[in-house]
Structure formats: C-alpha cells, structure tokens
Structure 1
Amino acid sequence: MTEKNLPISMAASAIALRGVRLFLSAGRAAAGRAAAGRVDPPKRKTKLPGNKIHQDALEILLRATRFNKQELEALHCMYKKLVLAAQSAAPSTGISQPNKLDGIEQNTFRDVMHNTFDLVTEEVIVDRVWVTWERGNGGEGSIKFDAWVRGLSVMLRGSDDERISHCFAVYDLNNDGFITRDEMFILLKNSLLKQPGDEDPDEGVRDLVELVLKKLDIDKDGKISMEDYREAVQQEPLLLEAFGQCLPSKRHAATFLKTLSNK
C-alpha cells in the first residue's frame, strides 16, 4: 500500500513514537528506579548560614520567576542544604582547608533530577539539562541560587514557549540552533535497549529518526530548527519530549510545589 492510502495524523504519529520509546526504555527506567533510592539525610544537623534572601534579590526573582515569596524562601533553604550536603560529601582539599563548593554541583543536580522529579531518563538527557542551566565560571562551575530558581521556574511552571525552548536546548547537542539527524540518532539510540538477537539495532534507530524528522521538519530542509520544533509541538503537544524526558511529570511537579507551600 502507498503512503497516500495510509494517512498518518500528527497525533497518531506522536503517540506511536512515544509508545515505542516508552516500551523500549522500560527496562532502563525500571533499573534506574531500583538503583536510585532516596538521598540519606545528613547524619548531623548543620546550621544553615544566611537563610534569608537579600531583599533586592528577592524582588528581582519575584518578577523574573513564577514563585511567590514563601516558595522562594523555601527554595533558598533547600538550596543551602544541597550545597552543604555536597560540601560534606566532597573529598577534603587539604588540611584545614574548606571545600570550595559554592553552588549545586553536577552530581547533586543529577540526584535532584532523578530522586525529586523522577527524571529516570537517559544520562545524556540529564547531562544536557545540566549544561543548559546558567552556571558560573563560563559555564564550567556550579549552579548558583539565582540560576537554580530560574531553571526550576521554567521546569515547573513555565509557559508553553518556555518549555519548548527548554526542551529544544536540551536536544540541540552542539548548540548550533538545529537538531540534526546525527543528534536525533544519539538521543534515540540512548533511549533504546538492545534486545537479544538484534543484529543491527542501529537500523531501527535510523528508521525512527526518519519518522521523527518527517513529523518535525516542517520546512523539509533535513534538520529541525526552533521554528520547526515550535510549530510541530503547537500542532501536537505530545511531540514536546520526542527525544527523551527532560521535564517532570505534572504529578511530580505538583508534589514538589506542595512541599514548598508547607515549609
């Protein structure tokens, strides 16, 4: 039968794509949940320095994010705890020399994404989420409080356009403004589990790449631009996380936001 005789709607294709990814990544997700566990609480209480946000910084974040004052103060307290926990766990830098961690470092960030927001997804995705958040030292350092709050605001309460921009930035592996066939291949291959007896698992990934490209490449130039991606997702929201989960589920987002209100 020809393609003309078998029309595939955008919604049906998106559902099929997501179904294939979820089915093939089920083993990895289950293993990740079993291994993740919860972060053990600190064995001893540590007095948190400077739990109050400076008034000027507070006013800026109230305007720049979708958190209220109570939520920002709760996030600040959480941020301090995460930084201090990472400092306690880090190897000593020398006799009587304090550890120089002054923000959320990558391992702590990864733990929060996995254990708090249940982003049991491919490591390449979690690492890309880390890369897209603003950090000190030219992007090499840890995440400071301002960037921590702004990033969470997009993930938890971002507008449709903010969430689209976030996901696109995660998937654009070389930051050139396009998602290419090669990048799609890397992202999708990392989400698939090789099955026993598979002689050429890459062939199936290449087929999936072509299917996704057909749905997302609106201008048919062989790669996905931000404009292509935005238009495709606006037509079919299920395509937002076509290459891997990089946003928390509504349930986990709501649970986390509830804890901020209860602080």
Structure 2
Amino acid sequence: MGCCSSKKVGRTPGYEDPTILASETPFTESEVEALHELYKKLSCSIIDDGLIHKEEFQLALFRNSKRKNLFADRIFDLFDVKRNGVVDYGEFVRSLGVFHPNANVEDKINFAFRLYDLRQTGYIEREELKEMVLALLHESDLILSDDVVETIVDKTFRDADLKGDGKIDQEEWKELVKKHPTLIKNMTLPYLKDITLAFPSFVLSSEVEDIEVDLESCDTSTTLG
C-alpha cells in the first residue's frame, strides 16, 4: 500500500484524543495510537484523502478491492456509523473495539445481529440468513448443493424462531447465542491485543472449517459461527 502524503499528517478525519478513545473502548492508549498508524495506512491505499472508502476496506479485508462481497459490505456499513459512505478514524476505532477480546459480550451479540439483519428491519428473516450463508460459502469457494443450504437455514430457524413467526428477533438471537456461543466467535479477533500495520483480517476460514466438519449433521451452532 502506498503512503499518505505529508499534508495529511496530523489532520486525520475523525481524529480523537487517544485518552478519550481508550476510555470508551477496550483498547489501551498505546493500542489506539497503533490503530492510528494502521488507519493512516489503510486510508491512503487507493484514495489519499485520510478516509477509508469501501474499496479500501474491501482491499484490507480480502486483498481485493473489486470483488463484490456481502460480508465485507455489511461490516463496512456497520463501521460507517455516520452513513456518509466513508469511515473516519473515530468510527474505525470504536467499531473495531467490538472485536477486541475484552469487549462486552452483549456488544458482540448485538453487532452480529445487525450484521445478519441485512434490510435493517430489526429482525433476521430466513432469506437474509440464506444470503449470508451463501456469501460465506462463495467467499470460501466451498460448494454445497441447494438442498444442503436449505437444510442449514431450516435447522437454524427451527432452533431460533421460538415464536414461530418466520423471523428471528433480538431476544431470540440472544437465546440462540447462549445455546451456541460459536455463533459469535468471529466477533473476537485475538490479534487486536497485538496490533500491527497488518489489518486484523475478517477472513472466514474458521467458519468454513466448521461447516465442512459438521455438514452431515448440519449443526447450526457451526453453520453461522
């Protein structure tokens, strides 16, 4: 990745004092400062304006700025708190904090729920779940038959849709996570405790391995997590 021009130094959009960010996130002040260096690196990788655009975010996650990926799109949308199409430094640190090993579990559960709630209706509907499962499989190049995908989705809903209304609300989601904690294991990135200039990848290899191991039983605890 290229380097930001000198005119950008000290003028990072959304910059906040490390002491403040450390007090409001699981990061220490030194980790916040390290994240600032990482942010500067990412924010000039394609467009040198001190902001992280979706293409730069995609490049950091999957080493590809062009390939369409639903998972990357959803992560970016949730990082883009101001809904202005870019991620500034404050948004970057606060959002990434959810993935810290010391972050509140409730915050992880809520973030994961919003990740699957593609249409932002406050519910996870069957079709949304299926889209996310297909996106995971596509990114991993794991090919499953339509019947197996349908079985994965059906079993998840039988387990989660306690009210039987064809959708998963936040309370049902929390109950599902209690029964299957692995659902939110990709919400914790251990290397956030040892931050470097390499972006903490969200690559879903562990989830894919779980799917491969449990395909025969279509275990929902490993299908999504």
The aligned counterpart of 2:54 is: 106
1:64 counterpart (8, 14, 24): 24
Higher relative contact order (CA 8 A, sep 6+): 1
| 1:258 CA displacement | 4.4
1:79 counterpart (31, 36, 39): 39
TM-score normalised according to structure 2 size: 0.71
SS in 2 for 1:87: coil
The aligned counterpart of 1:162 is: 107
The aligned counterpart of 2:135 is: 190
Gaps of 5+ in 2: 198-225
Aligned partners of 2:47 and 2:13: how far apart in 1? Answer: 21
Aligned partners of 1:56 and 1:253: how far apart in 2? Answer: 19
Structure 2 residue 96 is the aligned partner of structure 1 residue 152: yes
2:25 touches 2:97 (CA, 8 Å); kept in 1? yes
Structure 2 residue 173 is the aligned partner of structure 1 residue 220: no
Higher mean C-alpha deviation, range 176-185 or range 126-135: 126-135
2:12 touches 2:89 (CA, 8 Å); kept in 1? no
1:218 touches 1:228 (CA, 8 Å); kept in 2? yes
The aligned counterpart of 2:202 is: none
In 2 relative to 1, CA 60–249 (structure 1 residues): closer, same or farther, beyond 3 Å? closer
TM-score normalised according to structure 1 size: 0.61
Deviations 1:79-137 (A, max 9, x none): 1222233335xxxxxxxxxxxx341111111222236xxxxxx921111111111344x
| 1:56 CA displacement | 6.7
Aligned partners of 2:52 and 2:172: how far apart in 1? Answer: 34
| 1:144 CA displacement | 0.6
Gaps of 5+ in 1: 1-40, 89-100, 116-121, 196-200
In 2 relative to 1, CA 202–155 (structure 1 residues): closer, same or farther, beyond 3 Å? same
After TM superposition, which residue ranges in structure 1, 4 or more long, deviate above 4 angstroms?
Answer: 51-56
Question: Which amino acid is the alignment partner of residue 238 of structure 1?
Answer: T
1:155 touches 1:248 (CA, 8 Å); kept in 2? yes
| 1:191 CA displacement | 3.2
Aligned counterparts, 1:1-16, within 5 A? none
1:103 touches 1:143 (CA, 8 Å); kept in 2? yes
Percent identity over the alignment is 26
Aligned partners of 2:129 and 2:115: how far apart in 1? Answer: 12
Aligned partners of 1:113 and 1:56: how far apart in 2? Answer: 24
SS in 2 for 1:228: helix
In 2 relative to 1, CA 191–134 (structure 1 residues): closer, same or farther, beyond 3 Å? closer
Aligned partners of 2:13 and 2:118: how far apart in 1? Answer: 35
SS in 1 for 2:99: helix
In 2 relative to 1, CA 84–191 (structure 1 residues): closer, same or farther, beyond 3 Å? closer
| 1:73 CA displacement | 1.5
| 1:54 CA displacement | 10
Larger radius of gyration: 1
| 1:169 CA displacement | 0.6
Higher mean C-alpha deviation, range 60-69 or range 143-152: 60-69
| 1:206 CA displacement | 1.9
| 1:45 CA displacement | 7.9
1:132 counterpart (61, 68, 78): 78
Deviations 1:3-43 (A, max 9, x none): xxxxxxxxxxxxxxxxxxxxxxxxxxxxxxxxxxxxxx43x
Question: Which amino acid is the alignment partner of residue 259 of structure 1?
Answer: T
The aligned counterpart of 2:146 is: 202
1:53 touches 1:76 (CA, 8 Å); kept in 2? no
| 1:61 CA displacement | 1.3
Number of aligned pairs? 187
Aligned partners of 2:95 and 2:54: how far apart in 1? Answer: 14
